[in-house]
Amino acid sequence: MKLPCGDPHACLPPISRDYNTRCGCLRMETRIIPPDSLRSIKLVPEGPHCTQTEIIATLVSGERVCLHPQSWWVKKLVHFVLEKQLHRRAAVISRRPA
């Protein structure tokens, strides 16, 4: 079978720059980070790019650090954030007119 572009790899669409093809966390932070130093946290579930869940925190300083998902304080932080999001969604749904 002859491909119109000749090279089979040249026919493939480019990978989006937003698509991560490997784990983003090479080193995990185990020290407790004070909550007032955190700007945001991002949970990246395991998938074809990485076999483990990654938790990436952005600090107030702009620095990004990977948090160890098995640390007790990280588990507590993630639970708190998820509960907060759940309550926000429930409040939005309850405000909608029937």
Model pLDDT for residues 33-83, shown as the tens digit of each residue: 998 999 999 999 988 888 888 999 999 999 999 999 999 999 999 998 888
Domains of the chain, each with CATH number or no CATH: 35-95 (2.40.50.40)
Rounded alpha-carbon distances, angstroms, from residue 22 to 10, 48, 54, 63, 77: 22, 8, 11, 20, 25
Whether 16 shows a pLDDT value over 60: the answer reads: no
pLDDT at 98: 59
What's the pLDDT band for 4 if we cut at 50, 70, 90? very low
User: Mean pLDDT throughout 1-24?
Assistant: 53
pLDDT at 23: 87
Q: What is the pTM of this model?
A: 0.65
